[in-house]
A and B are shown apart, each in its own frame.
Chain A
Amino acid sequence: MNKVTWLRKNLFSTWYNTLLTIICLYFLFWIVKGCLFWAFHQAQWQVIPVNLHLFLVGRFLQSLYWRIWIVLGIITILSLITLSLFTKKSNIINRRFSQSITPWIAPTWLLSFPINIWLIGGGFGLQSVSTNLWNGLLLTLLMAIVSIVLSFPIGVILALGRTSNLFLTRWFSILYIEIVRGLPIIGILFIAQVMLPLFLPTELRLDRLIRGIAGLVLFSAAYMGENVRGGLQSIPRGQTEASKALGFNTPLVVRLIILPQALRAVIPAIVGQFISLFKNTSLLSLVGLVELTGIARSILAQPQFLGRYAEVYIFIGLIYWLFCYSMSLASRKLEKQLGN
């Protein structure tokens, strides 16, 4: 009954509203029907299950998949522990125990990183796998995580530099930020991939992945710096004065008073930057890295799946969306947790 009156009031109140409603409904029906028809009758989804392993890890040696499973296991366990520590109402782990392991979380994550890289790449007793074979989602995640982890501290340093009283530091930061922000990311990726080897001595040939990461980090750090600077400038001067009056020196003021507040204020902007960095990894396919988008392009070149663009791109689009949406969920949760 209620619904009927609501419909009548909002959608069918006059003859032209009725007409508009009918036209819109028809269009909606038409589009949804088209999509469903395509998805269930025309689309040939075999391209996905047949190539699933390629999408996920590319040409990584199948006999060594167990190593990737271990990496996945390590990351899952660490994530679960971290999550349970930060959701305060967990009764699973007792409080004293969780307090005693909290300081170890960050170092453990850091330590797990070289171990994971070792498991993926081999060497030191394990059969080594060339970085050319690190493909697909595996490479996308690796590039994104490393770039995020590196660009964050560099961004913070740039922001502090730009707000510093030291002339040289300030001008270097401004110069760097303004130059990088004036260049398109694809240009920076090409510079890192093609021109960096020309500048460096031949003995020092950096791996393609490292050059890719360098490009992403150089680009992202400039934007990160500007985001963090916004946070720094939102902190009232009284905070600095009060801490100085208590006898804190400048590094301590920044570390204990200013940065914690500034970073908290710009969490949404920082996570937004992380998300766009994650999506920007797809541009690495244009400089020859076979990450998720790159592997999609080579799958599309398989003779039996020629022309399956829609299926493949919708699938990888879903994967990108899944990761970006989880980041945005995590950021909302973090804000709630920190907001008091």
Chain B
Amino acid sequence: MQAQTPIIIAEDVHKWYGKFHVLKGVSLTINRGEVVVLMGPSGSGKSTFIRTFNALEEYQQGSISIDGITLSRDLRNIEKIRKEAGMVFQQFNLFPHLTVLKNITLAPIWVRKLPKAKAEELAMQLLERVGILEQANKYPGQLSGGQQQRVAIARALAMQPKIMLFDEPTSALDPEMVREVLDVIKNLASEGMTMVVVTHEVGFAREVADRVIIMDAGYLVEEATPDTFFTEPKEERTRKFLSQIL
């Protein structure tokens, strides 16, 4: 185990959508290099929670700090954090009007101010790493779902983030493409990237996660290592959830 230095600290986070209380005081500390899997029934607030980490969702109470930067309403802080935390979405959200290569180089060039040649070199390395080097000059619409999601991962990595957030990265994929995307994420994990993954893939959680966390109705219900978690869950709600998905 590495030295336990926390990189994400969330304390007592509350969020309301209008009157609907989505997050009811969630606290979580994630250490550098740790892979945390968030599970739970739909509507439990896990996606909302992960999206507060890079301020795609605001929270109304509590505090979150990422790599020592406190997330406040200050736009400069938000932009600093977004440079450190890459995100991969359920719906890929690639830019359809740009080629794969441009999708990946756009942010490094405009946000990190990398020279174009350098950004392209980096993009090609990343495309090779996710196994779709030959698709560099195609448009997203010409790729399969699995390939698009791998481009999305490469795009997030191109900003050289310290944290990767995955919001149900395989939920919109055809079953035969889930594996290729999970393999890429697994490789990332083995390279020591700090990751928070919202997913329903139990096999993946078992294999890769350092910690599994179950959320339900806006609460953090249970957290454990994957071995004890799936074999001897403590909480009734966890047991119920596991019986639904296993």
Write out, one digit per residue, whether chain A residues 225-255 have a CB within 8 A of any chain B CB (1) or not (0): 0000000000010110111111111001000
B204 contacts chain A at the CB level, 8 A cutoff: no
The segment out of B8-16, B19-27, B87-95, B186-194 that lies at the interface is: B87-95
| Interface residue? B139 (CB, 8 A) | yes
Residues from chain B with Cβ under 8 Å of A242 in the complex: 87, 89, 93-95, 152
Asked if B3 CB lies within 8 Å of chain A CBs, one says no
A248 / chain B contacts, CB cutoff of 8 Å: 107, 110-111
The 8 A-B residue pairs with the shortest CB-CB distance, nearest first, are A242-B93, A238-B93, A246-B107, A245-B87, A247-B82, A247-B111, A247-B83, A340-B139
Contacting residues of chain B (136-152) with chain A, CB-CB under 8 angstroms: 139, 141, 152
- A67 CB within 8 Å of chain B: no
How many pairs of A and B residues are in contact by the CB < 8 Å rule? Answer: 59
A260 contacts chain B at the CB level, 8 A cutoff: yes
Between A and B, 25 residue pairs with Cβ closer than 8 Å are: A236-B91, A236-B93, A238-B89, A239-B93, A239-B95, A241-B89, A242-B93, A242-B95, A243-B107, A244-B56, A245-B86, A246-B82, A246-B111, A247-B79, A247-B107, A247-B111, A248-B110, A248-B111, A249-B79, A252-B111, A257-B95, A261-B95, A261-B96, A340-B139, A340-B141
- Point out the residues of chain B lying under 8 angstroms from A247, CB to CB: 79, 82-83, 107, 111, 159
Tell me what chain A mostly uses at the interface: helix, strand, loop, or mixed.
helix
Interface size on A, residues (CB 8 A): 19
Within 8 A of A (CB), among B161-175: none
> Is A264 part of the binding interface, using a Cβ–Cβ cutoff of 8 Å?
yes
Q: Say if the beta carbon of A256 comes within 8 Å of chain B.
A: yes
Write out, one digit per residue, whether chain B residues 51-64 have a CB within 8 A of any chain A CB (1) or not (0). 00010100000000
B93 A246 Cβ-Cβ under 8 A: no
Nearest-Cβ distance from residue A238 to partner chain B, whole angstroms: 4
**CB neighbours of B156 from chain A (8 A):** 245-246
Number of interface residues of B (CB under 8 A): 26
Q: How would residues 220 to 245 of chain B score, 1 for a CB under 8 Å from any chain A CB and 0 otherwise?
A: 00000000000000000000000000
Partner of B56, one of A236, A241, A249, A264: A241
Q: How far does the alpha carbon of A244 sit from the alpha carbon of B159 in the complex, in Å?
A: 12
A246 to B161, CA, bound (A): 10
Q: Give the complex CA separation of A241 and B82 in angstroms.
A: 11
Contact B93 A241 (CB under 8 A): yes
**What is the CA–CA distance of A50 and B110 in the complex, to the nearest angstrom?**
60
- B95: chain A residues at CB < 8 Å are 239, 242-243, 257, 261
- Across the interface, which residues of A come within 8 angstroms of B107, CB to CB? 243, 246-248
A340 surroundings in chain B (CB, below 8 A): 139, 141
Q: How far is the CB of A133 from chain B (nearest CB, A)?
A: 46
Interface check B200, CB cutoff 8 A: no
Given A239-B93, A247-B82; 19 other pairs, CB 8 A cutoff: A238-B91, A241-B56, A241-B89, A242-B93, A242-B94, A243-B95, A245-B82, A245-B86, A245-B87, A246-B159, A247-B79, A248-B107, A249-B79, A256-B106, A256-B110, A257-B95, A260-B97, A264-B97, A340-B141
Return chain A residues, CB-CB under 8 Å to B89: 238, 241-242, 245
B46 within 8 A of A: no
